[in-house]
């Protein structure tokens, strides 16, 4: 089989006193995402999709939140490491698609920059990186602005 598909999901709590970093972009907002690394929820979902496609486990296995080494880590740097792992197994990314679910702030103005940064990190063309943003229609924890969630799928192609 020369193609594989994986999916990833992540959610982080919103809190005061943290930056809001999504898809490698710092977005102006009065709340940020809580986490051991930079808590980049979208990049985490993408990494899990890539790892899942090859049944290589999840990001918690490679970058455990108990390890001080990853405190405040730049998730794009972690993404680059996951990409190297995928490449070392003889696979490359066909495309990625993703959704960020956030009630606020408006993410649309930042999506092009997110696509550019993720594509650059993965050495891909931005047209291989789909990023969509939606609200949760005020429903549930995401709708109450207690957190931001992200979903991703990755299609990998054998070299």
Per-position x/- string for 51-70, each x denoting binding to Mg ion as judged by CB under 5 A, each - no binding: --------------------
Q: How many residues belong to the site for Mg ion (CB under 5 A)? A: 2
What sign has the CA pseudo-torsion 102, 107, 110, 113? Answer: positive
Residue 44 engages Mg ion in binding (rule: CB under 5 A): yes
Burial class, 8, CB count within 10 angstroms (exposed 0-12 / middle 13-18 / buried 19+)? buried
Which tokens go with 9?
Answer: 């999901």
- Dihedral, CA of residue 18, residue 24, residue 28 and residue 33, to nearest 10: -30
Q: At its nearest, how many Å lie between Mg ion and the CB of residue 157?
A: 26
Nearer to Mg ion, 92 or 146 (CB): 146
Residue 103 engages Mg ion in binding (rule: CB under 5 A): no
Residue 110 engages Mg ion in binding (rule: CB under 5 A): no
How far apart are the C-alpha atoms of 19 and 40, rounded to whole Å?
A: 10
Residue 48 engages Mg ion in binding (rule: CB under 5 A): no
Residues of the shown chain interacting with Mg ion in the complex, contacts defined by CB under 5 A: 10, 44
């Amino acid at each position: 089989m020369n193609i594989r598909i994986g999916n990833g999901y992540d959610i982080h709590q919103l809190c005061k006193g943290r930056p809001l970093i999504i898809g490698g972009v710092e977005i102006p907002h009065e709340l940020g995402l809580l986490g051991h690394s930079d808590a980049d929820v979208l990049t985490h979902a993408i990494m899990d999709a890539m790892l899942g496609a090859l049944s290589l486990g999840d990001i918690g296995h490679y970058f455990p939140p108990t390890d001080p080494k990853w405190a405040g880590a730049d998730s794009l740097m972690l993404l680059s490491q996951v990409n190297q792992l995928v490449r070392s197994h003889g696979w490359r990314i066909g495309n990625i698609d993703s959704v960020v679910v956030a009630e606020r702030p408006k993410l649309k103005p930042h999506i092009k920059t997110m696509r550019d940064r993720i594509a650059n990190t993965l050495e891909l063309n931005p047209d291989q990186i789909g990023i969509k943003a939606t609200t949760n229609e005020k429903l549930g924890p995401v709708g109450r602005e207690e957190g931001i969630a992200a979903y991703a799928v990755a299609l990998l192609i054998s070299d």
